[in-house]
Amino acid sequence: MSFRYVFFMPNEHIKEIMGMKGKLDIIDIIQQKRLQWYGHVKRKSEERIPKLIMDWIPWERRKRGRPR
């Protein structure tokens, strides 16, 4: 008979041990940077390539599955 004991520790406890309590998670930092980049691109002129790509809508949907 095998018995496996797994101990789970909440993230807040790990942050407290590492001295990171009250600081942002990497996920929060990435979301904040994405929003900053989005605002940066939205303020660009209409003919700039990043703005054109962000506002681009494809003509038609691709078919599902592997091409035959």
Q: What pLDDT is attached to residue 34?
A: 94
Q: What pLDDT is attached to residue 36?
A: 96
Q: Is the dihedral of CA 52, 57, 58, 63 positive or negative?
A: positive
User: With pLDDT > 70 as the criterion, what percentage of the chain qualifies?
Assistant: 96
The pLDDT of 5-28, averaged and rounded, is: 84
Q: Is it the case that residue 68 has pLDDT exceeding 90?
A: no
| Inter-residue contact 41 to 51 (CB < 8 Å) | yes
Residue scoring higher pLDDT (24 or 33): 33
User: Rounded to an integer, what distance in angstroms lies between the CA atom of residue 50 and that of residue 23?
Assistant: 32
